[in-house]
Structure 1
Amino acid sequence: MPRFPAMFDHTGIVVSDLARARTFYDAIGKPLGLVTADNGEQAFVFGKSKAEPIPYLWVGTLRPSYWAEGSRTGVNQMHVAFVATSKDAVHAFHAAGGTDHGAPGPREGAEGYYGAFLLDPDGNNIEAAFRDNLPYLRRS
């Protein structure tokens, strides 16, 4: 089975409470096969593994150098969709915690697309997405 190419190298979000964010991402990572890893005292990364470090999501309390003037935590809501390997994984992701922002189910306008949305502790829109019409997205 061909390997799915990464959709991004990395992205990042700023959070107000690192411990609360870590608890959330640890919980949703398990059904998606993703893990958190320390990245200094004020950040962690969320991704596949040390052996496959890219793509990743950087999560921290530091103010990024690229932020536009006036930006602050929760004002510039971010959306990140993670690949889920099955509908069951989408349901497990949704049950892991966070604030419901869209129950598991098919999504209109995208054939074979099944997803669920949660808001993380700072209001960022986090999604698990399964595409049954694209078998190369499934992990073997």
Structure 2
Amino acid sequence: MLDHTGMGVADVARSAVFYDAALGALGLRRAMQLPPETGADGIGYGREYPIFWIDRFHPHGVKQHTAFAATSRAQVDAFHAAAVAAGGTDNGPPGLRGVEKGYPSGYYAAFVLDPDGNNIEAVFREGLR
């Protein structure tokens, strides 16, 4: 089980606009910033503590994929709309992904590329929550 993860970004402030909106739609918020006053070096998102970081310390532009759990189809839809409105690029609209493509039954997801080209996903696994 993971405790936290993250990725490097080219511009923390620019990426924060995207992640504030996209992860905010999933109920996550800025849980910690480095330095505390500005968050210019890194921002950790979570509920009680940071579970996902964006920072300037790690390499950026490596095209990573991170999936965040949603609690409903509506939350996946809200994530996608917020992420695109905040400058993300649609990489797969909200919808059920077919078992013929290797997804399990009830896999409802949306995909958006962040400002650095990372593939960010929100997924609701119907019947498992």
* Fold shared, TM-score > 0.5 on shorter chain: yes
Which string of whole-angstrom CA distances, capped at 9 and with x for unpartnered residues, describes residues 70-92 of structure 1? xx421x21111111111011011
In structure 2, stretches of 5+ residues that fail to align are none
Count of aligned residue pairs for this structure pair: 116
TM-score, normalization by structure 1: 0.77
Give distance in 2, aligned partners of 1:125 and 1:116. Answer: 10
Deviation at 1:108, TM superposition (A): 1.7
Residue of structure 2 in register with 1:103 after alignment? 93
In structure 1, stretches of 5+ residues that fail to align are 1-6, 64-71, 136-140
Please give the root-mean-square deviation of Cα atoms over the aligned residues, in Å.
1.4
One of 28, 31, 34 as aligned partner of 2:28:
34
One of 5, 8, 15 as aligned partner of 2:9:
15
TM-score, normalization by structure 2: 0.83
| SS of alignment partner, residue 21 of structure 1 | helix
Deviation at 1:39, TM superposition (A): 2.7
Instruction: Say which one has the larger Rg.
Output: 1
Structure 1 stretches of 4+ moved >4 Å: none
Following superposition of structure 1 onto structure 2, how do residues 1-140 of structure 1 map, counting pairs within 5 Å?
7-36=1-30, 37-40=32-35, 41-49=40-48, 53=49, 56-63=51-58, 72-74=59-61, 76-96=62-82, 97=84, 98-109=88-99, 110-135=104-129
Give distance in 1, aligned partners of 2:78 and 2:7. Answer: 23
